[in-house]
Structure 1
Amino acid sequence: MSAEQRAQRKCTSCGINIAGLSAASFDCPECGHQLHRCERCRKQSNLYECPDCGFTGP
């Protein structure tokens, strides 16, 4: 992943810019869109919504 791609990652749950190793990146279970979650939202199990298909998850 390039530095530019890392700089553009935003948490799908809260919208903050993601930096660091504790963030998670994964594909949406419904459509495969790349999603990112920050450490805080992962720990708190905050809901996320895929911007492409509307799938929501914990």
Structure 2
Amino acid sequence: MSTTDDRKTRSCVSCGINIAGTNAAAFKCPDCGAQIYRCAKCRKQSNLYECDDCGFTGP
């Protein structure tokens, strides 16, 4: 998958919106290291997220 395609498929793990071109956070899961993306709105509201790979949940 190319970098351009990867940007198009990134979505917030909390609400599911496409985060391409937004002020989103990208970080690694504290448990398994999988890449997680969260939109600014979900970060600001401290919405829970769950890692798709290992099930880790966080605020």
TM-score (norm 1): 0.91
Compute the RMSD of aligned alpha carbons.
1.3
- Amino acid across the alignment from 2:40: E
Q: C-alpha displacement at 1:33, in angstroms?
A: 0.5
Unpaired stretches in structure 1, ≥5 consecutive residues: none
In the alignment, does 2:55 pair up with 1:49?
no
For the residue of structure 2 that corresponds to 1:18, the secondary structure is: coil
For the residue of structure 2 that corresponds to 1:26, the secondary structure is: strand
In the alignment, does 2:29 pair up with 1:33?
no
1:18 aligns with 19
Q: Percent identity?
A: 66
TM-score (norm 2): 0.89
Aligned residues: 58
